[in-house]
Structure 1
Amino acid sequence: MKKIFFLLILVPTCNLLLAQKSIIKSYSNYFENTREVPFLHLNKTTFFVGEEIWFKAYVQEQNSQKLHKTTSNLYISIFDQKGNIKDQKLIKITEGIGRGNIKIDSTYTKESYYLKASTSWMKNFHEDNSYIQEISIITNEKQQTDNSINQEEFYEFKLFPEGGHIVSETINNLGVLIKNKNNEGIHISKGVVKNSKGVVIKEFTTNKFGLGSVNLFFDKNEIYTLEATLDNGILITQKTSIPKEIGITMRVINSNTKKLFIKFSTNEKSLPNLNTKTYTVFIHNTRNYQKQELTFQNNNTNYSIIINKENLIAGVNIITVFNENFEPILERIIYNHKKELYADIGITKINSTNDSLTFQIKNKSNQKLYLSSSFLPFHTKAYKPTDNIYNAFIFKPYIKGHIQDAEYYLSNINHKKLRDLDLLLLTQGWSKYDWSNIFNNHPKTYYEFENGITITGKLNKPLKSDQELLIFSGENNIVQVLKPNNGNFKLPNTFVHEDSHIQFGIKGKEKIIHKITPSLQFSKRSSYEILPNNYTDKIQNKKQLNFKIENLASTFKETEILDEVRIRKKRNIEEYENPPYGAVTFLSRQKMKNYIFSSSETVIDFLKGKLYNIYMDDGEVIINPRSGCTLKTNNYKFRPLVRLFLDNNEISQMLWITETLYLDRVKEIYYGRVFDNNSCEHVYIYSYSPAEYKNKKSTFSYYRVSKGFSKAKEYYTPTYNSYIDYKYVYFGDVFWKPDIEIKPNSYFQFKVPLNLQEKIIIYTEGISESGQLISKKHVLSKKTNQ
């Protein structure tokens, strides 16, 4: 009998452990693969036709909560109001960061478009982590909002039982959400709760975001009515659902800074069914978890679990309760505040003139910061992003809904703001992760993790044994010599730009280059993207600008409204794109058009004429300085005494290129002594571009890459006709700085134009190398020291 009694206890215990292991295994497997979370910081969200959308891309790796070190291909898609894709750009992401721009040309004729940032790898997962932002286009006179619309038809009044359901004969906590037709919260100073007989039994309020909560004891089969009166006198109501007769409820108290309290309640009718059963309380956030057990007793209807917040991961955590059959029955999202989530910056004005302002951004952290800043007129109406970086990286990976004004909750955090944030999470319901997927539908790799663009090619006939295929593109940093296998070759993980060129040639024993035109195929350079239905549905009730724009055509100077203006002029050294360091001071410069040479002379011949010592060593070209030189390092094998650069790409380890680089293909050469510990001399060779060389006899064939990575332009401020006109003051652009990097406990100083503004607003977003987040709004004034 003792053995039998022991077995009766052991079997349920073993089943419990096996089932809990099954939860953990399924959960770990589901979140094993890395997930990407993109965020775009836009210079603004409302644009005139003729302007550019400027953006900085940040991509977080969800498991580490840091910048994604390996992702590279980010697709930026624009959709019209019907969800049709209008344009798409492929952006290169390096160490989790990229930038770009999109021209708003004359084809943008609608008032609204949607900008989406996503990767192919993201499509392997059931949850959508793509970034989506609505942008507004000012194309002509806007219509006034139709005030005749019946506002009562557009309010949103919802109730959210904490945990997911209501149980009778016990206390239930209900989250309250009230919004207007523009998705903005409605403050209710006094709402009432009535029972089925119309008797007021309780009152409730909502904050400025339309959020509140109310505790109610539910009688059996009782339905309560919540009533609220809007400022315009309209009475809105919402009824509770019919309570369950058997079950448990959950209430989370998250007001204590050190402890998290989870309270469970049930009723007398449920006790016989719950007696001795053990429920599992699983607290998780996709990369970490902990569990607690809750065993019910026949004489107790109330239970509590206390969690030390130090043991919880910073940020969002999800509490899921499983019954004895390990079915999820309750869920609640919470936020665990810790300072380690955030970095801080200080913004200080240094000085100002009539037309510009100099200021500095101070990094107050011990981590390197990567930032971007948008500068707009003080009275701007053009900056209304749906998400800042807080919302994108802290909340969106876990919740289904939207966090309105995340900056409010997470800037200058205090007890009231954390209470408001907890109310918001209460009204989010269950998380975006479906447990049926976690248990039964693990992600499958239908889409490969992309890293650049792979180019595969085929020659029309195999090369001879003494021939090699030369591939070069200064625009795309490609310098390759290959021996194709039966005429087939591959260039993996390239980052070729759209509208760029690749040159191909064949080199034999005679070291003469012959043209060759291979057939090429490229890996994926575009992505099929769709706009989720919930975004297209919103368009029907979209709020218009409610602002009349007159004489729009006079906003820009005439030349600025053209889609593209190209101006060609002769450049001097200071105007040369990416001139080498020392071009004006200690390097010598030789323009080939002023240099007499024969058609067979190469760069090697030129360097010999400049007294460089050049010889062959075991078939390799060796170039030594014109005079004796010693380095502080003895690692000569990897640090050549003379470093060569072709179109700003170093070719010091591929000097064979100079043997066949004829001077008639070279525009100019810089050479001379450098003052560093890595080499004695530098040689910079600049070749003619395809356009410049088209009239010359070429030994290379050129292939135009029509689709590839978008090449980010340097920011320019549009030239507006007036900087005091309301069109500029409300919707214009002052400045955009996407590439701010600040070392630990250091600062970044620069100057921005004022454009006749007394005050400008700076919107700064960013992240540290350890994943700490920055989102800050700051006003700079011409007259004050702030």
Structure 2
Amino acid sequence: MISTSFFCLKCYGQVSPAEKKATKAFQEYFDLQRETLFLHLNKSTYVTGEEIWFKAYIYNKREKLPFEETTNLYVGLYDSIGRQLTKKIFRASKGYADGHIELDSTLNSGNYYIKASTNWMRNFKDDGAYVQNIKIYQQGESISPRISGKSDYDLQFLPEGGRLISGIKNNIGVKCVDIDGYGAKFIKGIVKDSENKLVNIIEPTASGMTSFVLEPKNGLTYSAEITFENGSVKTFPLPLSTDEGYNVNLVDRDSTNLQLTFGRGSTTKLEKAQEDLILWVSKDGLVKKLDIQFAKGEDYSLVTIDKESLFKGMNVLTLLDQHGRPILERLYFNHKTVSSGTIEISDAEILKDSIAITLKGKFDKSKHIQLSISVLPKATMAYDHDQNILSTFLLSPYLKGHIENPSYYFKEVTKSKIKELDVLLLTQGWSKYDWEELYGGPIQIEFPFERGIELFGKIQSEIKSGDKLMVYPFEDFQGSAIALHADSTEFSIKGLFPTKGQAIRLSILDDRGSIKKPKMYLSARSNMVTDRLANIPGEVRPNNWADNNVGTSQPINLFQDDEPVELDEVTVSAEKNKRRFTTPFVFENKLTKVTDKTAKMYPGVLDLLRNNGFSVIISYEPKFDRVQIKSLRNRKYPVIYIDDVRLMDLDRLLYDYPLSRLDSYYISRSGDGESGAAGGVIRIYTKESDQLEDTSAAKTPKDRILVYNTPLGFESVKSYYSPKYGTSGNTFQNFGVVHWVSSMSLRGNESKTFKVPKTDAQGITLFIEGMGKNGTLISTTLTIP
């Protein structure tokens, strides 16, 4: 046998054609960055009348950091057969997003799914979208305990490496499931050959997954006799063995080393005695390589790998032949290099009507973690998520098909649980990577990476030379003045973040300063589409319901039944208030009001600017006059706004603009640190029509401004509020919510205190998920008696 060591990416010697082919394919396939999503839902079981509260975490697997570029997050609710019921856009920032979804009272009881995705994900076959099963019940409906003890079972025998090879040792994974496809425990198992000789014993585990070693002989077949918990005994045939091909046996020797033993069949040993093989170790496009060689006449080749040289978390180990074709694959999860912090409850003080809970971080001081916390009664049966942030980002993206309760492998990790995870990876066989797709060339981009939504318009009003379209400011948009041309009536503004129903105001401003209401077609655009779940994950089994002794059926009466309160009729009257400026750019007390006296002193806006430290030069030209304004201090151009919309081209706009049209103004000769404002900042605010002296010619704001309430926009983020639960009795203990914290920031070993309402719950549990700026992931459950 040949023993070697593997420490780093091979970068010496001649590169084989197989390596070149595989390297090129990986570079092209993984060239584009990809998002992976996790939603921390405050519960998994809801009652109509509640809302689903969530925190979204967006992760860059390759960089192991938050995916900060994502802004448009789509979250939808789907029924039990995958039909979309509703979908909303939530704004993400720096890798995080907060949100909630109201549950329609007309929803029937049953299984539903929450899906989170982005437009960019649609470019990839393995899109990284997050899907989570939830249950919804009608208020007042009865719920029954889970019925367990299924009487039918199935066993799968999965040789490590994919083939059962005659004449050499094979490690065989065993997977036992019940009639619903869930893992099931068996009592004992024995392996016999076709001559009825005992060959090996299969040791049972609680998960129903285990492994055993078999060295099959030519001419014999093998079977396993399994005894189940219900006393039944069944016999299952093992796969037939072959003389061709390769297998692998991975042994996690100790905390430092990993051992791989590659075996080959007798026919392969003769026909491909000198075949050069490559061990291709990869993760998210990152690759390390090692030559695998068999000594002449040997059945095995042994490789010892230092775990420090492997990737953090998942490693996909693929054996390639001399043509770059994959022969076998084995997944290995490297716990040694996965680091995460922990959190503990340092104090819980009971106050008059609340409980003050103090959390303390126990991780490196440089780590800055964002947390979300679901606070539920200790006896809750409403939190049965099969995924947590660790399993979602570190495990599930690499496995094919549905994995039962993947979060189990990251809760209170022990040596026994590490072994269970390795058996899971053994039975999974090939990773989610499709080698045919890898060798298919670069991924074609069909769906762009989104940043906000687009406002598209087509003006139907008559356009004159010098007209500008004024788009007034709203949240995260400072406004815009778009030059119009008679031969180009369409316009588009991208990168907007309006909330749903946001009023967007638009006017046309001519070169004389007059404002009029435009006639136009407007549309808000994004890439949100109605879809259907293609691959519905298995229903999450509520594994703690039986432990809570639900007993017989009980009705879910979660909310208080209050008598309606009759209100006295109230008549309200109020004086019409004068206009007050609420611009986010200038405090109102810094605005200078334009009085009659000011208007007489400085008839035009340009006269006012000349008196406030600016030079004004007017160039008289045949078609129209041009205005040039510069700071006397440094001869640089100021930034000028009208009603918070920046003017990009003055021309005649301010040439004879009367000061009497202004309500107020703000002038900063220093520029207030604004980008490009070395020559200063000038903000001009015009009067409303009812403030103008010539009321006969005055137009109402409705006549001057087009208001477009966008039907497409981002959902507003609101603070959590709790429904009016009836907090006494088993229903609240089992299905109610104490509190939800969407965002808490912890750095290093600092402490943070938050309050939750005091209820009749006999103890409370905190379900915590989190992600740090440096990619640290946290998932933990804490209980207060």
What's the TM-score once normalised by structure 2's chain length? Answer: 0.80
Q: For residue 242 of structure 2, what is the aligned residue in structure 1?
A: 244
**1:85 maps to 2:79:** no
Aligned length: 717
- The 1:265/1:717 distance shift into structure 2, 3 A limit, reads same
Q: Map of 1:277-316 to 2, 5 A cutoff?
A: 277-316=275-314
Q: For residue 69 of structure 1, what is the aligned residue in structure 2?
A: 68
**1:110 maps to 2:119:** no
**1:771 maps to 2:769:** no
Distance 1:312 1:662 in 2: 72
SS at match of 2:194: coil
Q: Map of 1:671-710 to 2, 5 A cutoff?
A: 697=702, 699-710=704-715
Distance 1:523 1:738 in 2: 29
Give the alignment partner of residue 757 of structure 2, picking from 749, 753, 759. Answer: 753
Calculate percent identity across the aligned residue pairs.
26
Deviations 1:566-625 (A, max 9, x none): xx999xxxxx9x999999xxx9699xxxx9999x99xx99x9xxxxx96765579999xx
Q: For residue 18 of structure 2, what is the aligned residue in structure 1?
A: 19
SS at match of 1:232: coil
- The 1:617/1:22 distance shift into structure 2, 3 A limit, reads same
- The 1:651/1:468 distance shift into structure 2, 3 A limit, reads closer
Q: For residue 740 of structure 2, what is the aligned residue in structure 1?
A: 736
1:217 offset after TM fit, Å?
1.0
Aligned residues: CA RMSD: 4.6
- The 1:510/1:192 distance shift into structure 2, 3 A limit, reads same
- The 1:314/1:14 distance shift into structure 2, 3 A limit, reads closer
Q: For residue 155 of structure 2, what is the aligned residue in structure 1?
A: 157
- Corresponding letter in the other structure for 1:750: F
Distance 1:256 1:436 in 2: 35
1:394 offset after TM fit, Å?
0.5
- Corresponding letter in the other structure for 1:281: L
**1:346 maps to 2:321:** no
**1:725 maps to 2:729:** yes
Distance 1:177 1:705 in 2: 53
Is the CA contact 2:370–2:745 (under 8 Å) kept in the aligned structure 1? yes
Is the CA contact 1:40–1:56 (under 8 Å) kept in the aligned structure 2? yes
Deviates more, 1:29-38 or 1:247-256: 247-256
1:182 offset after TM fit, Å?
5.3
Q: Map of 1:163-312 to 2, 5 A cutoff?
A: 163-181=161-179, 183-312=181-310
Q: For residue 390 of structure 1, what is the aligned residue in structure 2?
A: 390
SS at match of 2:419: helix
1:207 offset after TM fit, Å?
2.5
Distance 2:590 2:614 in 1: 26
Deviations 1:226-263 (A, max 9, x none): 23322222334432111112222101112422112110
SS at match of 2:206: coil
What's the TM-score once normalised by structure 1's chain length? Answer: 0.80
Give the alignment partner of residue 506 of structure 1, picking from 508, 516, 519. Answer: 508
Deviations 1:368-394 (A, max 9, x none): 111111111111111111210001110
Distance 2:303 2:767 in 1: 42
Distance 2:56 2:325 in 1: 40
**1:716 maps to 2:721:** yes
Distance 1:59 1:635 in 2: 46
Larger radius of gyration: 2
1:452 offset after TM fit, Å?
1.4
SS at match of 1:397: helix
Q: Map of 1:418-433 to 2, 5 A cutoff?
A: 418-433=418-433
Is the CA contact 1:66–1:771 (under 8 Å) kept in the aligned structure 2? yes
Q: For residue 631 of structure 1, what is the aligned residue in structure 2?
A: none
- The 1:542/1:415 distance shift into structure 2, 3 A limit, reads closer
1:661 offset after TM fit, Å?
14
Distance 2:635 2:158 in 1: 70
Q: For residue 135 of structure 1, what is the aligned residue in structure 2?
A: 134
Q: For residue 9 of structure 2, what is the aligned residue in structure 1?
A: none
- The 1:652/1:718 distance shift into structure 2, 3 A limit, reads farther
SS at match of 2:423: helix
- The 1:15/1:259 distance shift into structure 2, 3 A limit, reads closer
Is the CA contact 2:313–2:337 (under 8 Å) kept in the aligned structure 1? no
Structure 1: gaps spanning 5 or more residues? 1-12, 561-567, 571-575, 608-612, 624-633, 689-693, 782-786
Q: For residue 96 of structure 1, what is the aligned residue in structure 2?
A: 95
SS at match of 1:418: helix
- Corresponding letter in the other structure for 1:326: G
SS at match of 2:121: helix
Structure 2: gaps spanning 5 or more residues? 1-11, 565-571, 575-579, 606-610, 617-626, 689-698
Deviations 1:540-578 (A, max 9, x none): 999997866655456244599xxxxxxx999xxxxx9x9
1:494 offset after TM fit, Å?
1.1
Q: Map of 1:572-651 to 2, 5 A cutoff?
A: 618=616
Q: For residue 483 of structure 2, what is the aligned residue in structure 1?
A: 483
- Corresponding letter in the other structure for 1:503: R
1:539 offset after TM fit, Å?
6.0
Distance 2:49 2:458 in 1: 42
- The 1:53/1:181 distance shift into structure 2, 3 A limit, reads farther
Distance 1:509 1:58 in 2: 49
**1:444 maps to 2:444:** yes
1:456 offset after TM fit, Å?
2.0
- The 1:469/1:362 distance shift into structure 2, 3 A limit, reads same
**1:471 maps to 2:467:** no
SS at match of 1:151: coil
SS at match of 2:16: helix
Distance 1:525 1:34 in 2: 19
Q: For residue 378 of structure 1, what is the aligned residue in structure 2?
A: 378
Is the CA contact 1:100–1:710 (under 8 Å) kept in the aligned structure 2? yes
Deviates more, 1:766-775 or 1:201-210: 201-210
Q: For residue 326 of structure 1, what is the aligned residue in structure 2?
A: 324
SS at match of 1:53: strand
- The 1:589/1:465 distance shift into structure 2, 3 A limit, reads closer
Is the CA contact 2:312–2:334 (under 8 Å) kept in the aligned structure 1? yes
- Corresponding letter in the other structure for 1:105: D
Distance 1:306 1:39 in 2: 35
- Corresponding letter in the other structure for 2:320: F
- The 1:662/1:291 distance shift into structure 2, 3 A limit, reads farther
- Corresponding letter in the other structure for 2:766: I
- The 1:115/1:258 distance shift into structure 2, 3 A limit, reads same
Is the CA contact 2:409–2:417 (under 8 Å) kept in the aligned structure 1? yes
1:174 offset after TM fit, Å?
0.8
Q: For residue 40 of structure 1, what is the aligned residue in structure 2?
A: 39
Deviations 1:704-751 (A, max 9, x none): 11122222222111111x212211110111111112123344333221
- Corresponding letter in the other structure for 1:732: G
Give the alignment partner of residue 516 of structure 1, picking from 488, 498, 518. Answer: 518
SS at match of 2:183: coil
Distance 1:660 1:743 in 2: 55
Distance 1:748 1:661 in 2: 56
Q: For residue 691 of structure 2, what is the aligned residue in structure 1?
A: none
Is the CA contact 1:476–1:500 (under 8 Å) kept in the aligned structure 2? no
Q: For residue 696 of structure 2, what is the aligned residue in structure 1?
A: none
SS at match of 1:190: strand
Is the CA contact 2:246–2:327 (under 8 Å) kept in the aligned structure 1? no
Distance 2:239 2:94 in 1: 50
- The 1:54/1:429 distance shift into structure 2, 3 A limit, reads same
- The 1:303/1:638 distance shift into structure 2, 3 A limit, reads farther
- Corresponding letter in the other structure for 2:324: F
SS at match of 1:426: helix
- Corresponding letter in the other structure for 2:67: H
Q: For residue 527 of structure 1, what is the aligned residue in structure 2?
A: 529
- Corresponding letter in the other structure for 1:724: S
- The 1:309/1:702 distance shift into structure 2, 3 A limit, reads same
Deviates more, 1:380-389 or 1:453-462: 453-462
Is the CA contact 2:384–2:542 (under 8 Å) kept in the aligned structure 1? no
